[in-house]
Amino acid sequence: MIRKFLRRVFSRAPAATDSHEPAAIPLVRHGIHRESISPGARRTCETLQQAGYLAYVVGGAVRDLIAGITPKDYDIATNATPEEVRALFRRSRIIGRRFQIVHVMQGAETLEVSTFRAAHDADTQKDEHGRVLRDNVFGSQKDDAARRDFTINALYYDPTAETVLDYHHGVADLKQKTLRIIGEPRARYREDPVRMLRAIRLSAKLGLTIDPEARTPIRDMASLMENVPAARVFDEMLKLLFSGHAVECVKRLRDEGLHHGLLPLLDVILEQPMGEKFVMLALSSTDVRVRQGKSTSPGFLFSTLLWNEVLVNWETRKKRGEVQIPALFEAMDEVLDQQAEKLAITRRISGDIKDIWALQPRFEKRSGKPTLRLLEQPRFRAGYDFLLLRAESGEVAMELADWWTTFQDADAEARLAMLLPDKTKKRRRPSRAKTKEGNADTVEPAA
């Protein structure tokens, strides 16, 4: 009897490669009507299906729709190869090295269409740490589902039949507020360490509890993030910081030990009371704007996250006798260069960051024409919002922020009246000619 039981246990395939058929979940259970899908995603699926291929909306869009969240974009999974997809859509292009996908343009929408991926095998190219380097092998839909990171992302929605194919009980996990990884957690994190960041972001965004088997290895394997290209880390951090739940994400990063080494700004700043308050105010403000559907700026957010490092560097330089403004620019460059080793901040965003920082000393001056000209600067509003955060955190006096709030809303006459005397200007001495003339006027006539 024991032998029979052991045979049954050890002959069972692991969850990631289970041979069971997917659950076909009907509309009444998942609640996604085809009208909920973007027109471009529907047209893309219909075109592929009419050509004889399988085509599904997959991953995050399906997950978010079931959770009652409007998706930001839509991904399509199909058994058509990239070349076959490219042939069906005039406005499309093949991109990617590690795994080729097709960008299909439908009106203003850009859909990411990927071919079902095969399971990893001995021929899969990996680095010495186990991270997958090249992955251009196609497979079945079941293989593709097993390759996805979390069960809630292995969901396939057919807009024609209005059914969801669920290979790994993702819908149940979503309903039960649990984030489970597909396969053996340590192996999956080695394949792609960014999955650890993704686990933090998704759990914070959806209010999920990370399954203990998926959570336990994270702290021990956090060092694997050092092997991830800086550009990939930057892309994932943008998603995390602009998820609308950045404050909770950062808290969870710290709880899981993922902030150390990943972001020098979080290593240092969050361990200093004023720096932590400043960062949390910035993240909270960003969360509010994201949830309200307002515009957000990566340049502004990263300028707040890195500011404390600039301040420390700047103060050190001034103590060494360096001139104030050149010292600030040197500090800015050094901090951005250091951060580039972990995050590949784009040149455009770096330019925005520097513009915001460079404006801060100019807010200290409240006299003369330069003060009026500051209002005309393209980045004035961002710089002013940055000043408000500095005042709210206690770094500068609130009186300074209040002055600029009143000054920018005042009319021209009121602004002139608000300008303070310029103490840097020396009193002009009367010319020698006038002095002599004045003296001559005071000379008494001869007797």
pLDDT means over runs of 10, the chain (447 residues): 38 41 92 95 97 96 94 95 96 87 95 88 54 70 93 96 96 95 94 92 94 93 86 86 91 80 58 76 93 91 89 94 95 89 83 96 93 94 96 94 96 92 62 53 45
407, 415 contact by CB (below 8 A) = yes
Return the pLDDT at 125: 55
- Rounded to 5 degrees, φ, ψ at 56 are -140, 145
- Rounded to 5 degrees, φ, ψ at 94 are -90, 130
d(CA 26, CA 33): 10
Give just the sign of the alpha carbon dihedral 53, 57, 60, 66: negative
Q: Domain ranges in the chain?
A: 15-180, 298-418
Q: Mind telling me the catalytic residues? A: 73, 75, 149
- Rounded to 5 degrees, φ, ψ at 92 are -155, 160
Ranges of beta strands (E only) in 145-259 are 155-158, 163-166, 178-179, 209-210
d(CA 177, CA 210): 9
d(CA 284, CA 305): 12
CATH 1.10.3090.10 matches 298-418: yes
Both tokens assigned to 116: 């079902």
389, 383 contact by CB (below 8 A) = no
For residue 112, the SS3 value is: strand
Would you state the CATH architecture of domain 15-180? 2-Layer Sandwich (3.30)
d(CA 433, CA 422): 27
Return the pLDDT at 357: 97
Residues 6+ apart with CB under 8 A from 50: none
90, 44 contact by CB (below 8 A) = no
Centre a 10 Å sphere on the Cβ of residue 377 and count the other Cβ atoms it contains: 15
State the amino acid at position 344 in one-letter form: A
28, 44 contact by CB (below 8 A) = no
Q: Tens digit of pLDDT for each residue in 401-446?
A: 999 999 999 999 999 999 988 765 555 565 565 555 555 444 444 4
Both tokens assigned to 278: 């400043």
Residues 6+ apart with CB under 8 A from 318: 324, 327
Identical topology for domains 15-180 and 298-418: no
> Which run of H or E residues covers position 78?
strand 75-78
Q: Tens digit of pLDDT for each residue in 124-175?
A: 555 555 555 555 688 999 999 999 999 999 999 999 999 999 999 999 999 9
Residues 6+ apart with CB under 8 A from 336: 306, 345, 350, 353, 354
Return the pLDDT at 428: 57
Return the pLDDT at 227: 83
Beta strands 209-210; 75-78: pairing state: unpaired
Return the pLDDT at 152: 96
State the amino acid at position 359 in one-letter form: L
Return the pLDDT at 134: 57
Both tokens assigned to 224: 């694997």
d(CA 364, CA 127): 52
Number of residues that make up the chain: 447
Both tokens assigned to 272: 């200093």
222, 261 contact by CB (below 8 A) = yes
* Residue 309 exposure: Cα atoms within 13 Å on the Cβ side: 22
Beta strands 101-106; 209-210: pairing state: unpaired
Return the pLDDT at 3: 42
Beta strands 163-166; 209-210: pairing state: unpaired
What DSSP letter does each residue of 413-426 carry, written as one string? HHHHHHPPP-TTSP
Both tokens assigned to 187: 């192996």
For residue 55, the SS3 value is: strand
